[in-house]
A and B are shown apart, each in its own frame.
Chain A
Amino acid sequence: MMFKLKYCLSIFVLLIIFPVFCNTDNQVQIHFIQGRKNIYKTGDKIELQVTVYVPDEICPDGMDKTKLFISGIKIVRENSWEHIKRGVWQKKLTLEIVGNKKGVAKLTVYRRADKGSFTFQERFNLE
């Protein structure tokens, strides 16, 4: 009986903890410099500031593993990752909507590394 209770409690704790670790909202933040629109049309330009939170020891070379994937948009201008403070990196981007068949453009911030992996996606509805 005691064993079952411990077993159930462990699963319960894991279920609570797991989404916390999986939550990438804390690791990536996107700030729209000129505000966000509900609907975008082809040719619209979007200025963004992407902030990522990674382990403190990551160096500029390690930030190469943080990639941006785009769908329905093109990157017009992109700065390199700027080290703001320990574990915080920032990049400014200018995007242009080029459109696609899916009706939604996407910017994916993707990192696969031993130190801090995450995937974060920002979607832009197209008219």
Chain B
Amino acid sequence: MNTFRIGIKYNENKDLISKWIVISTIVWMVLHTVYMNVMGITPTNRTLCVIYDSLPKWAFYIYEYFFELFIVVLLGIFAGVLIEHFSHKLKRFYPKNQLLAFIYASILPVCSCAVIPMVSSLNKNVNFRSAITFIVAAPLLNPYIVFLSFSVLGIKYAVIRIVASFILAVTTGLILEWIATTLKYDIKGIYKHSKPNCQVVSKNPFRKTMQLTYKILPYIIIAGLLTVTFEYINPKKYLETLSFNLEPVSMLLMLLVGIPIYVCNGTDVIFLQPLLKYTDLSMGSAMMFSLTSSVICISSIIMLYKFLGKKLTISLVITITMLVILFGITINLFT
């Protein structure tokens, strides 16, 4: 009897700690967003951030690429858990087709690492192609990115970006679903229990969030390490000094740099503005950079590996790469 009571007490304590961590994370995220907006801080001028100012560079990178990534993933998982928890109530709001999935994703201002944890819970309630459309479209478009694209790079770039994002998200969804069904790939997910009757994950949404986050913690650490390495190498710096007069080379470079790095919330638009204005960079190459750098990055590939499994992650990266190359060539032919 005593052991049973201790067990309940132990579980209650864990639930309480989990609740405290998740709520603190939400509060931190809200304060962070308010601070960034009030001070006008974006990823391009993050040097103005008080944390950047007060910490050594390496410590800021640890904060940004481990702590922030952890928080973003935790909140993404929490959103996924809530979607699953209230699935019976939210049923009528789920995107029933790819078009709706694209529209929903284009409204949400979330990055790829935050949206990936939602894929498994979405996949239980919508078809696989719509779930993939959602995770591809979410980091590509949101109202702010659309506004930034129109105001900074003009109507031509903005329209091409919206159309290309739609085609990329929908086509990737269709191809991935075809691959998954034809080759009978198991769509893995951390929400899925290893044994049917084995209740390894708690029903409490806060506790469940923490348990799932803990499961993918090694992936967060690997993703953080690789992102910090890319931050130190800073491949974008080398792009700025190039001539871009050789189209195939410039397309290849944009692709090679765009795939591993992640530029968040329209930073690619700011980065591309002087390149499109003062260099020979073509619209096709610029779009290739925007699409690849927003949809996938080294951290999201590592996260996808955990959520989709190795084969589907590789298929997703190859599909996106191929489609983006096709877009680049087509855009250059018509602009």
Cβ of B241: which chain A residues have Cβ within 8 Å of it? 68, 70, 75, 78
Query: Would you call the interface of chain B mostly helix, strand, loop, or mixed?
Result: loop
Interface residues of B in 271-330 (CB under 8 A from A): 274-275, 278-280
Known contacts A67-B240, A69-B240: A108-B245 contact under CB 8 Å: no
A110 with B245: CB separation less than 8 A: no
Cβ of B33 within 8 Å of any chain A Cβ, yes or no, is no
Nearest CB in chain B: distance from A15 CB, A: 26
The stretch of A16-24, A30-38, A98-106 in contact with B is A98-106
User: Could you say which residues of chain A place their CB within 8 Å of the CB of B48?
Assistant: 114
The binding surface of chain A is classed by DSSP as: strand
Interface string of A49-78 (1 = CB under 8 A from B): 000000000000000000111111111001
Interface residues contributed by chain B, number (CB under 8 Å):
12
Contact A69-B245, Cβ < 8 Å, known A108-B274, A110-B274: no
Of A69, A75, A78, A99, the residue contacting B274 (CB under 8 A) is A69
Q: Is the CB of A106 within 8 A of B278?
A: yes
In chain A, positions 77-127 with a C-beta closer than 8 Å to chain B are 78, 98-100, 106, 108, 110, 114, 121
- Using Cβ atoms and an 8 Å threshold, which residues of chain A touch B245? 71-72, 74, 98-100
| CB pair A108 B243 closer than 8 Å | no
Q: Produce 1/0 per residue, B208-235, CB < 8 A to A.
A: 0000000000000000000000000000
Within 8 A of A (CB), among B248-277: 274-275
Interface contact B243-A72, CB-CB below 8 Å: yes
**Interface size class for chain A?**
10 to 19
Count CB-based A-B contacts (< 8 Å). 39
Known: A71-B243, A98-B245. A108 touches B278 (CB 8 A): yes
Is there an interface contact between A98 and B243, defined as CB atoms closer than 8 Å? yes
- Bound together, the chains give a CA A71 to CA B245 distance in angstroms of 7
- Residues B274 and A70 in contact, CB atoms below 8 Å apart: no
| Alpha-carbon distance between A100 and B241 when the two chains are bound, in angstroms | 16
Of A67, A70, A78, A121, which is within 8 A of B243 by CB?
Answer: A70
Residues of B within 8 A of A74 (CB): 243, 245
A121 to B280, Cβ gap below 8 A? Answer: no
Write the B51-64 contact mask toward A (1 if CB under 8 angstroms, else 0): 00000000000000
Task: Encode A37-54 as 1/0 by CB contact (under 8 A) with B.
Answer: 000000000000000000
| Residues of A contacting B244 in the complex (Cβ-Cβ under 8 angstroms) | 71
Cβ–Cβ contact B280 & A71, under 8 A: yes
Alpha-carbon distance between A98 and B243 when the two chains are bound, in angstroms: 9
Q: A110 to chain B: which residues have CB within 8 Å?
A: 274, 278
Instruction: Quote the shortest CB–CB distance from A96 to chain B (angstroms).
Output: 9
Across the interface, which residues of B come within 8 angstroms of A78, CB to CB? 241
Closest Cβ–Cβ distance, residue B280 to chain A (whole Å): 5
CA distance A61 to B256 in the complex (A): 27
Pick the most buried of A70, A73, A98, A106: most chain B CB atoms within 10 A of its CB.
A70
Shortest C-beta distance, B268 to chain A (Å), equals 16
What's the Cα separation between A78 and B275 when bound, in Å?
A: 19
Contacts of B274 in A (CB 8 A): 67, 69, 108, 110
Residues of B contacting A121 in the complex (Cβ-Cβ under 8 angstroms): 278
Q: How far is the CB of B241 from chain A (nearest CB, A)?
A: 6
| Interchain residue pairs with CB less than 8 A apart (28) | A68-B241, A69-B240, A69-B274, A69-B278, A69-B279, A70-B242, A70-B278, A70-B279, A71-B244, A71-B245, A71-B278, A71-B279, A71-B280, A72-B243, A72-B245, A72-B280, A74-B243, A74-B245, A75-B241, A98-B243, A99-B245, A100-B245, A100-B280, A108-B274, A108-B278, A110-B274, A114-B48, A121-B278
Interface residues, chain A, CB within 8 Å of chain B? 67-75, 78, 98-100, 106, 108, 110, 114, 121
Binding site for A on B (CB under 8 A): 48, 240-245, 274-275, 278-280
The 5 nearest A-B residue pairs measured at CB: A69-B278, A108-B278, A74-B243, A71-B280, A71-B279
Q: Other than A70-B243, A78-B241, A106-B278, give 11 A-B pairs with Cβ distance below 8 A.
A: A67-B274, A69-B279, A71-B245, A71-B278, A71-B280, A72-B243, A72-B280, A74-B243, A74-B245, A99-B245, A108-B274
